[in-house]
Chains A and B, each alone.
Chain A
Amino acid sequence: MKAVVCVKQVTVLGDEVGFTDDERDVDPDYLEKALNEWDVFAVEEALRITEASGGDASAAGAGKESEVVVVTVGDEEADEALRRCLAMGADRAVRVAADGIDDDPLTVARWLAPVVAREDPGLVLCGVQSSDAVQAATGVMLAGLLGLACVAVVTEVSYNQAARRATVHRELEGGLIDVVEVQTPAVLTIQTGINEPRYATLRAIKQAKLKEIEVAEPDSPAPGAYRVRRMFAPEKGAGAEMLSGGAATVAARIAEIVQARLS
């Protein structure tokens, strides 16, 4: 079984924030990069499913049936996210070369779609959402563009390759589980906690650095889902009283407030 996992190198905003001159985004100087947390779980799940469905995902050799392909949209910096997936055990990586994309999920899904279609996988796994933009949309948009079945917010997957279907758990609000049977090929968006992602060995990390990453050219996009007009820091703690004066003072104030509110 071939699985494609769509991943994102997310931005992590530190303790301070500054904006670009046109006030439409955060100044890149204030951002760090990382592989999206949800996507780590998605890669792990893809590795487990392909390993269980016969063939060893990490075995060498052409024409193997079992394969995990990771795809992202981004500039060269995003290769770092792909290499982390390769170090975990993904077989191949494809980057759709796009500079300075914003987080419009429709544009990203349109760029991912031709690569996913070409790979013709049995399962497409995406993280439920990215930690920076929290759209929870790109994976399901991909399903819409490619006409694939889909289940969002999945916390368990049992894949039956012979029957070409999977039984999955969909996690509803409040933790209620909806057990769903889905025909494959399908897009599943993967929730954190579904598995325990493996750590890459040092050797695997070194090997991943040597692997070739395929670079695909993006289609010229149609108008995206939205356009950011203005970005700004929200009013902070409207009404929140900040406690200061060192740990001992803060602790004493907390104890006082707790006692007053509970009595």
Chain B
Amino acid sequence: MSGTLVVAEHLRGRLRDVTRELVTAAQDLPRPVGVAVIAADPGPLAGEADLRGVDEIVSVRAGGDEFENDVYRDALEALLAGRQPDVVLTGFTVNGMGYAPAVAAKLGLGFASDVFATSLEDGLVIARRAFYGSKVHAEVELPGGRPVILMLRPTVWAPAEAGGGAARSELSVEVRPSRARHLSFVELPQSDVDITSADFLLSVGRGIGDKENIDRFARLAAKMGATLSVSRPIVDAGWMPSARQVGQSGKTVKPKVYLAFGISGAVQHLAGMKGSGTIIAVNSDPEAAIFGVAHYGAVADLFEVAGELEKLP
């Protein structure tokens, strides 16, 4: 088919949002745009993947209901051989991370991950991604083998709307039984805190330094009428339960006000809070990536600012 092939991502029988975002991103890349749906029963998912801007949906009947590593590795290789796309798009997601780099390495393909913008120059793809903890950006060329595989950062492109009329096809592939097999899902433990419903989140990150400081910011949050939330390092350290974690592996939040203390702004954190109404960030590092999404920022000692907020009536 040449053109751009989107590998659909799905979970528990539903297409994931990132797939719709990939279809939007594909509109600026070589056409036609195909979407591959890899599943034991791709039919219903293929229907969901019939989005505006999709020219062809390729159903690949393989594997089980849920993602399995070797199934996706084998199926993607077969898709590349059978459809000869110029560009392959997957999400920079946990599933994508499981197989896309393996295929790129095995076949020696051009590859870039966590891509947040693309352009075409003389038919060649230029990708933008960040380096050095998101503090600098870079344009990368993909001089390796064809096709190129781009793993795109979620929540950057708007999701494609339901459309219709894409051609349907099937590709039959031989896949080995996956050496990594899905057994079950385990839900997060229920919590009495729901940070996704708060209007005002006061969020703290690594910058608070010590576990003892959690209590101080919890009291400040209570005083200001905010709910306390945290970034991943605080949960990793065991200082707060994951129910309060904002970010890709935690909760996606959209409060009216998001007030961040000592959060540098890892990509995965920003993905979980950049939709907030007003973002205020206090950080001692003027280069902190969180200032890139904040509406208000202060380069300041967070304890001094907290101290002054505590004094206010």
Contacts and interface: CB of A to CB of B under 8 A. Distances in A.
Please classify how large the interface on chain B is, using the bins under 10, 10 to 19, 20 to 34, 35 or more: 35 or more
Interface string B271-313: 0000001101010011100011011111111001101110110
Given A13-B287, A137-B97, A262 B199 contact: yes
B67 A178 contact: yes
Interface string A203-224: 0000000000000000000111
B238 to A, nearest CB: 7
A175 interface: yes
A229 B186 CA distance: 43
Contact of A243 (B184, B200, B285, B298): B298
A228 to B, nearest CB: 5
B66 interface: yes
Secondary structure type dominating chain A contacts? mixed
Interface string A144-174: 1101011111000000000000010111111
A151 B291 CA distance: 34
B308 A252 contact: yes
A231 B309 contact: no
Contacts of B95: 172
Contacts of A174: 188, 248-252
Interface in A216-244: 222-234, 236-244
Contacts of A123: none
A247 B145 CA distance: 54
Given A222-B108, A242-B298, A257-B296, A15 B131 contact: no
Secondary structure type dominating chain B contacts? mixed
Interface of A: 11-17, 26, 31, 103, 105-106, 109-110, 128, 131-138, 140-145, 147, 149-153, 167, 169-183, 186, 189, 191-193, 196, 222-234, 236-244, 247-248, 250-255, 257-258, 261-262
Given A174-B251, A186-B180, 20 more contacts: A17-B135, A134-B114, A134-B133, A136-B101, A140-B100, A149-B180, A181-B183, A183-B180, A189-B97, A223-B108, A226-B142, A230-B138, A238-B292, A247-B304, A250-B298, A254-B280, A254-B296, A254-B305, A254-B309, A258-B257
Interface of B: 11, 66-67, 69-70, 73, 92-95, 97-106, 108-114, 126-127, 130-145, 154, 179-188, 199-200, 224-225, 232-233, 235-238, 242, 245, 248-252, 256-257, 259, 267, 277-278, 280, 282, 285-287, 291-292, 294-301, 304-305, 307-309, 311-312
